[in-house]
C-alpha cells in the first residue's frame, strides 16, 4: 500500500482581492498529524475545502491517490439533520462529538478537522486527542485555536501567512519559537529596504545630472525597489484591545448561599452550593457538556432565578456579559452600527474616539466596519463581541466561551488583558491552556447538583482530583479507566500490538451498530418527558459511560487490525 494520499502544486485562489492561496504547495501521506495555523481570515478553511474537493482553485494542480476517501468536518454544527431525530435531540456538544465519532467510524484516508474542539467539554477533547494519536493509517489535518490540543497532537505544522503556505517539520512549541524568529528577521529586512528606498528617492529628487550608464542602472534599481514595495503584502496589524475597568466595588462581589436550581426536580443542576466571590478573583467554571455551566453563570448574574437559596450582589457591582451565542449582535446591521448605533464616536476610558479608529484596534478595516454582521466569519464575530464588551466599564466581567473562533494571537492578547484586569472575572471555557493562564480558582460542576471549588487553574484541578481518595462524581467512568489500564497488557513482548482474534474481529464488526443503537437510545430518552421518564433519565450517565467505552474499544480494535 502506497503512503501517498494527496499533493497540491502551485494552487492559487482569489475572491476578487489579494490571493487567499498564492501558489500553495503541500504533500499529504499516511500517518500525518498536521496543524494548519494562521490568523483569522488568512484562508485556513478555504484551503481545507480545496483539499476536501468542495472548492476548485483558480490555478494549480491537485493529485489524489486512487480511491482516496476524504472526510471534512467543518467548524459549524448543523441545527438539524433531515430525518435524524436521534441527532436532533442531542445538545450542541454531543452533536459535535457525534459528528466526530461518525467521521472516525467511516475510516477515511484523510480526515480534515476545522476547529474540532469548539463546543466540546474537556473530557471529550481528551477523548479526541487519544483517538487521533492512535491513528497510524489515517492522515489528519487540523485547524484549531486550542494550543494544548496542538501541542499534544500535531507533529507537523502548515502555516498560512498572506496567501503563502510553509511547512514546518516540528511540534507546535518549536514552530512558535522559530516563527517568531522569522517574523523578527522579516521586520529587519523590510526596515533596511525602507531605509534604502528613502535614500534613493531623495537622490532622484535632487535630479540625475548625467544619463551615465551608472545612473541608468541606479534608476532601474529604484524602479524595481518601488515595485517590490508595491507588491509587498504586509502582515495584518496586531489587535490593541484594552479592557476598561469601572470603579472598584466592595470586597465581596457575590455571596452565594445554599444555591439550588433544576429544570427537573429529580435532576438538580445545582444543589446546596455556598461560596463567596471576592474582588479581584478570576474564577473558571468547569463541567461536562450539559452539566449546567451556562445555567450557573445565569444564576450568579441574576439572569435566572434560583429554586432555592440566594445570590447576593455586593455594593457598586457593574457587570458586563460576553455571550457564547453572540446573541447581542444584530445580524442585519453593520459592524459599526452594532458598536455605535448611528453615532460616529464611542467613549473609551472616558475619552471620545472615532468608531473607525476604535474598531481598527480589533483588526476591522473601514470596509469591514461597513459590512453587515451576517457576512462576518466566526472569528470576526468574536472580535466584534469583544469590541462591544470592552466599551462597557465593568468591575465584574462574565465570559461564556470567549476563546471560540479567536485566532491564537488574539487569544493570547485577551489573556494578557484579563491578567491585567483589576475587576472580578467569571469565565466558562474548555480551553485548558487559557484557564491555566488566566484563572485563580475553579467552580466545578461534578454532577448530581454538586459544585466544588478548587484553587488554581485546570492543571491544578486535575492534580487535586487525581490525588483525591474518592474520585469526584462526573469524572471519567471507572469502567473506561479500567479498560484503558488493561490495554498495555494486550501488546506483545516486542511492543507491537497483537493481531485480532476471531472473536475480536466479530466484535469489531458489531461495534458500529452497537454504538449507533446506544446513541439512539440516549437521544430518545433525552427527547422524552423527564417527569414521565425519571427511571430512564437516571440511566443516562451509565449509558453514556457504556457508549464512550464502546467507541474507545472500537478505536483500539481498529488500530490493531490495521
pLDDT digits (tens, 9 = 90+) for 269-279: 999 999 999 88
Does 421 share its domain with 358?
Answer: yes
405: three-class secondary structure by DSSP: coil
CA angle 511, 515, 519 (to 5 degrees): 170
Return the SS3 of 174.
Answer: helix
Cα–Cα distance, 97 to 38 (Å, whole number): 25
Query: Which of these ranges, 34-48, 157-171, 250-264, 512-526, has the smallest mean pLDDT?
Result: 512-526
Residue 487 has pLDDT above 50, yes or no: no
Are residue 315 and residue 413 in the same domain, yes or no? Answer: yes
Asked whether residue 190 is domain-assigned, the answer is no
Average pLDDT rounded to a whole number, residues 85-112: 87
* Mean pLDDT along residues 237-246: 63
Q: With 70 as the cut, is the pLDDT of residue 491 above it?
A: no
> Does residue 228 lie in a domain region?
no
60 part of a folded domain: yes
Strand arrangement, sheet containing 164-168: 70-73, 110-114, 139-143, 33-37, 156-161, 164-168
User: Is position 409 within any domain?
Assistant: yes
pLDDT band at 235 (very low <50, low <70, confident <90, very high): low
The C-alpha cell that represents 496 in the structure block: 507491537
Rounded to the nearest integer, the mean pLDDT of the chain is 82
Q: What is the pTM of this model?
A: 0.69
The listed range with the strongest mean pLDDT (2-16, 352-366, 403-417, 462-476) is: 2-16
- Please indicate, yes or no, whether residues 441 and 555 belong to a single structural domain of this protein: no
Q: How many CA atoms lie within 13 A of 116 on its CB side?
A: 29
Task: Check whether residue 543 and residue 514 sit in a common domain.
Answer: yes
pLDDT of residue 1: 63
Last residue of a domain, one of 148, 176, 204: 176
Average the pLDDT over 113-132 and give the result.
Answer: 90
Strand, helix or coil for residue 447: strand
Cα–Cα separations (whole angstroms), residue 476 to 214, 317, 428: 76, 38, 20
Which has more pLDDT, 404 or 1? Answer: 404
For cell 469548539, what's the residue?
A: 118
Residues 455 and 381 in one domain: yes
Judge if 406 and 496 occupy the same domain. no
Do residues 414 and 483 share a domain? no
Query: In which band, very low, low, confident or very high, does the pLDDT at 478 lie, cut at 50, 70 and 90?
Result: very low
pLDDT at 222 over 80: no
Domain CATH number, residue 497: 1.10.287
3-state secondary structure of 532: coil
Kindly report, residue by residue over 406-455, the tens digit of the pLDDT.
778 778 878 888 888 888 999 999 999 999 999 999 999 998 899 999 99
Decide if 443 is inside a domain. Answer: yes
182 domain-assigned: no
Work out the pLDDT band at 263, boundaries 50, 70, 90: confident
Position with higher pLDDT, 530 vs 553: 553
Residues 463, 490, single domain; the answer is: no
Q: Is residue 36 part of a domain?
A: yes
Percent helix / strand / coil, the chain, rounded to 5: 40, 25, 35
What CATH number is given to the structural domain containing 106?
3.40.50.300
Domain identity same for 422 and 452: yes
Q: Is residue 166 packed enough to be buried (19+ CB in 10 Å), middle (13-18) or exposed (0-12)?
A: middle
Answer whether 392's CB lies under 8 Å from 329's CB. Answer: no
pLDDT of residue 335: 93
Indicate the residue among 467, 501, 535 that finishes a domain: 467
Handedness of CA 418, 423, 424, 427 (dihedral sign): negative
Number of domains in the chain: 3
Range of the domain at 410: 252-467
Q: Is there a contact between 319 and 290 (Cβ–Cβ < 8 Å)?
A: no
Residues 483 and 444 in one domain: no
> Has residue 536 been placed in a domain?
yes
Same domain (yes/no): 499, 463: no
C-alpha 266, offset from chain centre: 34
Of 134, 151, 176, which residue is a domain's last?
176
Residues 121 and 172 in one domain: yes
pLDDT above 70 covers what percent of the chain? 85
Least confident range from 267-281, 315-329, 373-387, 412-426: namely: 315-329
Lowest mean pLDDT among 82-96, 375-389, 476-490: 476-490
* Dihedral (CA of 179, 184, 188, 193) sign: positive
Amino acid at each position: 500500500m502506497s503512503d501517498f494520499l494527496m499533493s497540491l502544486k502551485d494552487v492559487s485562489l482569489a475572491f476578487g482581492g489579494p490571493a487567499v492561496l498564492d501558489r500553495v504547495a503541500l504533500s499529504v501521506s499516511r500517518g500525518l498529524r498536521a496543524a494548519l495555523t494562521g490568523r483569522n481570515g488568512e484562508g485556513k478553511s478555504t484551503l481545507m475545502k480545496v483539499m476536501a474537493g468542495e472548492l476548485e482553485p483558480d490555478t494549480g494542480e491537485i493529485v489524489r491517490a486512487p480511491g482516496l476517501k476524504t472526510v471534512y468536518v467543518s467548524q459549524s454544527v448543523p441545527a438539524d439533520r433531515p430525518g435524524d431525530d436521534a441527532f436532533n435531540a442531542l445538545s450542541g456538544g454531543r452533536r459535535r462529538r457525534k459528528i466526530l465519532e461518525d467521521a472516525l467510524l467511516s475510516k477515511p484516508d484523510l480526515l480534515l478537522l476545522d476547529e474540532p474542539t469548539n463546543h466540546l467539554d474537556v473530557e471529550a477533547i481528551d477523548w479526541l486527542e487519544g483517538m487521533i494519536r492512535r491513528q497510524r493509517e489515517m492522515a489528519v489535518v487540523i485547524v484549531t485555536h486550542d494550543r494544548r490540543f496542538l501541542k499534544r497532537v500535531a507533529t507537523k505544522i502548515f502555516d498560512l501567512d498572506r496567501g503563502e503556505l510553509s511547512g514546518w517539520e516540528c511540534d507546535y512549541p518549536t514552530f512558535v519559537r522559530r516563527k517568531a524568529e522569522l517574523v523578527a528577521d522579516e521586520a529587519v529586512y523590510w526596515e533596511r529596504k525602507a531605509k534604502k528606498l528613502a535614500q534613493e528617492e531623495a537622490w532622484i529628487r535632487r535630479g540625475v545630472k548625467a544619463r551615465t550608464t551608472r545612473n541608468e542602472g541606479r534608476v532601474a534599481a529604484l524602479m524595481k525597489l518601488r515595485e517590490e514595495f508595491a507588491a509587498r503584502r504586509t502582515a495584518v496589524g496586531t489587535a490593541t484591545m484594552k479592557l476598561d475597568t469601572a470603579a472598584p466595588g466592595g470586597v465581596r462581589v457575590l455571596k452565594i448561599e445554599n444555591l439550588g436550581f433544576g429544570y427537573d426536580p429529580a435532576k438538580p443542576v445545582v444543589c446546596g452550593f455556598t461560596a463567596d466571590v471576592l474582588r479581584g478573583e478570576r474564577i473558571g467554571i468547569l463541567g461536562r457538556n450539559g452539566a449546567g455551566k451556562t445555567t450557573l453563570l445565569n444564576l450568579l448574574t441574576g439572569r435566572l432565578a434560583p429554586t432555592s437559596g440566594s445570590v447576593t450582589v455586593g455594593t457598586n457591582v457593574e457587570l458586563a456579559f460576553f455571550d457564547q451565542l453572540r446573541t447581542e449582535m444584530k445580524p442585519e446591521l453593520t459592524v459599526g452600527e452594532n458598536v455605535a448605533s448611528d453615532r460616529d464616536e464611542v467613549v473609551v476610558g472616558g475619552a471620545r474616539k472615532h468608531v473607525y479608529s476604535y474598531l481598527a484596534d480589533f483588526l476591522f478595516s473601514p470596509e469591514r466596519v461597513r459590512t453587515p454582521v451576517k457576512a462576518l466569519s466566526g472569528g470576526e464575530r468574536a472580535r466584534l463581541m469583544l469590541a462591544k464588551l470592552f466599551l462597557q466599564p465593568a468591575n465584574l466581567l462574565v465570559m461564556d466561551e470567549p476563546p471560540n473562533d479567536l485566532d491564537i494571537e488574539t487569544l493570547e492578547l485577551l489573556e494578557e488583558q484579563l491578567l491585567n484586569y483589576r475587576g472580578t472575572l467569571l469565565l466558562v471555557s474548555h480551553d485548558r491552556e487559557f484557564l491555566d493562564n488566566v484563572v485563580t480558582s475553579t467552580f466545578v460542576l461534578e454532577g448530581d447538583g454538586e459544585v466544588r471549588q478548587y484553587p488554581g487553574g485546570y492543571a491544578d484541578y486535575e492534580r487535586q482530583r487525581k490525588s483525591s481518595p474518592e474520585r469526584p462524581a462526573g469524572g471519567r467512568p471507572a469502567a473506561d479507566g479500567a479498560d484503558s489500564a488493561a490495554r498495555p497488557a494486550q501488546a506483545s513482548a516486542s511492543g507491537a500490538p497483537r493481531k485480532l482474534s476471531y472473536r475480536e474481529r466479530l466484535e469489531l464488526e458489531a461495534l458500529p451498530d452497537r454504538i449507533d443503537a446506544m446513541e439512539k437510545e440516549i437521544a430518545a430518552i433525552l427527547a422524552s418527558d423527564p417527569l414521565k421518564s425519571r427511571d430512564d433519565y437516571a440511566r443516562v450517565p451509565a449509558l453514556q459511560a457504556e457508549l464512550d467505552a464502546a467507541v474507545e474499544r472500537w478505536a483500539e480494535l481498529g488500530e490493531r487490525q490495521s
